Amino acid sequence: MGRYFLRIATLFLFLYGSLYGNDGCCDQCQFILRGEYLYFHPLIDQSYFVFEQDAPTTPALAIGERHNNHGCYTSGFRVEGIFDYCPNELDVRYTRFYHTPRRSFEAAGFLVPTKGASFFGNADNTNAKSHLHINFNEVEVLFLKLGFCCPCSINFRAGINYTSIIFREELFFTEPPTPFFTTIKQRTNFWGIGPEFDFNFLYPLSSIIPCWFDCIPICLAGDFRGGLLVSRSRAKFFEQDNTAVFTTGVSIDARNDPIYRLVPFWDMRFGFAYECNICCFGLNLEIGYEFLSFHRAIQEIFFTNSGTSPTVVTFNNELSFDLYSNLDFHGLYVALGIVF
């Protein structure tokens, strides 16, 4: 057993020395400070909030179209500091994204809430509103590196990821001019910490098309990150109804105990990078497209409802379950770095 371990260690040292040999990739220490502008579109699986019936029926028939709050592109930012003390490096990156998409839908009645345990009949609503809040924060610390340059720069890195997500959904259903309304609020608090692995590369375009890019230092850039978070999440659900039968208010106010789960994530992006030297420091500009996903990170409480008439309340609030949704992002990024 000892001989096999010695052989593996010798092979690793040989590869390590060959990768970090005199290839000119890391001949001195340097500090890199980067700032990124993000223009992302967040995606939520369970964003449908109202069902538009084709015609009123008692009991209700599911014939019609469900409408969702699909959000839109919005801005975020990322800052990163890298201390490269060859052959290793310390990389600290922080990402911040906050988005509050809204959507309203109006019709001449027959609007049915798709969530909660609403009391009133299906033909009462003429207006439905959805307001989402997505508060995303991520801290990545990478401190192990294995890389080489021939002819492109390739790095394998590892470290720790900490992610915090606060997700809120507010739904409003009204029947003007009568004072019938329903307000539904959901909230998920999520945080997770775990290992992260990264593979990134820079490939000079001059190696592909030398006649065009010999004098222009433009590279193909790619970055692939992934990991597994030990996470803690907690969901809350609140509903208030004002109908012809009940006018006192709160009908549901439920709070889950915290639950711990394993949540995988991945982050992939492609782009083009340009580097140049100005005086005693260097500049690099990178533009590309990014995809980011946290698997089943959003936890929501759902209640079943068998009530179809405002005069016959047969809802079953005790019948409830949790649904888990992905939190995904995709969009453009623009990064500007300074090398000291």
Low-confidence residues in the chain, pLDDT < 70: 1-28, 56-61, 109, 118-124, 150, 178-179, 208-215, 243-250, 305-318
Q: Domain limits of the chain?
A: 29-339
Q: Which pLDDT score, from 0 to 100, does residue 13 have?
A: 36
What does the alpha-carbon distance between residue 312 and residue 175 come to, in Å, rounded to a whole number?
19
pTM: 0.84
Q: Which pLDDT score, from 0 to 100, does residue 207 have?
A: 72
Question: CA–CA distance from 157 to each of 91, 185, 202 (Å)?
Answer: 9, 41, 15
With vertex at residue 159, the alpha carbon angle to CA 325 and CA 289, rounded to the nearest 5 degrees, is: 55
Kindly provide the b/e burial profile for residues 9-46, where b requires at least 16 CB atoms within 10 angstroms of the residue's own CB: eeeeeeeeeebbeeeebbeeebebebebebebbbebeb
Q: What dotted CATH number matches 29-339?
A: 2.40.128
The length of the chain is 340
Q: Which pLDDT score, from 0 to 100, does residue 190 have?
A: 98
Distance, C-alpha 289 to centroid of its chain: 15
Contact 340, 30 (CB under 8 A): yes
